[in-house]
Structure 1
Amino acid sequence: MSKRKQQGLDWNRGAQLRALNEYPFPKRLRGYGRPVSRATAASVLRMIDDHQREKEEAWPSLETMAACVRLSTKTVQRAIDALRSIGLVTVWNETTKGGHPLLKVAINWDVVFGCRPEPKPKRARRPGARKKNRSATHRPGARSTKNPEDTVAQPEDIETDPEDTVSLAPYKNRPENRTREASSPSPPKVPSASAASWEEVEEELFRRGVQAYDAAIRSASRFVDADHVMAIIAAFDQLRTPSWKPGALFVRVQKARTWLEPTDGWVNSEQQQLDFDREQRVATQRQQLERVESLSDSEFREIVRCNETLQSMARMYHSLADLRRDATAQKIVIQELSRRQETLQ
């Protein structure tokens, strides 16, 4: 594979760092179809710059990059794809001598420096103003000017005539007394129902040492939303003791339910685990009883009839233990069971 040489590496290190810090990221960044925050993209870009330094390219592993910015590898992959989509970095794959895949990243400095905000133009000297004698009015600590012609004149330096007055014509139509109404304080911002996302939950769990965050999120997403899991994480930070480990947070997120408050249900010992499981079984049985009580008489009788039919079919199958050894007899039994099940439906 041909070597990809980075252009524009003649800037010094200070200019490169200033350009990275001043880069105006777009408001909406997406990597692999999912949103990426500007703070995450900036952190990953600075981390790539730390590994690249004066070299033309960098090849840290995804695990190394995730550990440097304290994010998950999936988030780092999305951030790199977002940086690639706006042209800030060039990404390509190579193979080492041992045959292992290698991800290489290079910063496009011409794009970084090309998007810096332009410097503000200098203020021009007011026409008709005389030059100020800096030797007579020099104050210690004032910043010196290399070219005296570029100094801005002060109001007292402008020569005016006593007959010169300022016209008040543009202000005649303004009312003499204008009462300013006191503005009411703006109400506090209330987070929306979908303020948190599962991506943020994933990052928060990873930062607290939960390695199997995907399994915990997969179990919790069946019963609660992302805001509820964020409340559980906040309760973990508030109630945590030195003996607590990330496993306590993992177990609590896995067993998240809407009827269980975020501050309840924390397990840190074997006895607490048994008590928590017993409480969950009782709650599940209570919900099943409420569901049965809500059924009508006809629905309840139909469920009982189906249950009795299935039990009789199971007894018949187990009573034919000798016939189960013969493949032909077993096929006959299965066909009979299927026929009865179709009749039941």
Structure 2
Amino acid sequence: MVLIERLVVEEEEAGTRIDIYLAREIPDISRSRFQQLINEGQVLVNARAVRPSYRLRPGDEISVHLPPAETPQIIPEPIPIEIVYEDQDVLVVNKPRGMVVHPGAGHYRGTLVNALLYRCTDLSGINGVLRPGIVHRLDKETSGLLMVAKNDAAHLSLATQLKERRILREYLALVYGQLKEDAGTVIAPIGRHPRDRQKMAVTPTGREAITHYKVVERFTRYTLLRLRLATGRTHQIRVHLTHIGHPVVGDLKYGPARPHLGLSGQFLHAGVLGFTHPTTGEFLRFEAPLPPELAAVLARLREAEVSPA
């Protein structure tokens, strides 16, 4: 069997059913599939088999395995990618909009992992064959900076920094409407949507989620924000901004169900990434400019603001 995930249960997850927890933490696999894996003994808690109804305790160590036969071959592909930084331990990639980070159902070709495997032979194996080197993710339509581990020691260091909230992650987002305050913080728990399992939502049973924001530029109908993540929940920025009534422009999942401003996806860009190097201890900080499509949207809005009606 192939180890696909190793998780440690945090205090706020205590009492959650293990099948619900896993479906939330690993959205590529359904809850029913997890129930099957648990019953087959391929999910272990503290190295012991449990039932799908098992209620988690703080500090529980969960390992999830899949039979090798169910894992497709991930083929290296000569896909151009922009490497911002590379050494023997880490890579920093500027992911383009429209690219899926790692293979999953329906996306076994054309992903960032396919491109990385063509370029590198020394990626961390902690996250299994489907996600070699992947420490964190960006949504398909979110562009920007992503760190990749080239060995297991680097992966563990970066993952620990993420858990301890020591990774600097700043985003630019164009949102609908005018925010009243120039800066603020959204503190609202995020979990799986109670009715639509493909979406996340602010829910009382969700995990703690904190997003800081600051207004960068105001337009008549839109606001450009700089956001800093204190936590890293799935779709956190998109869910939090929708929660406060200002969804990301172009976000068809959490905002208006129609394209806007000619965008092919949401206006969300991971422009700043900073972390402590796993070996040298030096703090590294990187910036990536807005991709041309997003920069062009801002240029059109600025021109419209100064043009006579």
TM tier, smaller: under 0.3
TM-score, normalisation: structure 1: 0.17
Larger radius of gyration: 1
Higher helix share: 1
TM-score, normalisation: structure 2: 0.18
Higher strand share: 2
Bigger RCO (CA 8 Å, 6+ sep):
2
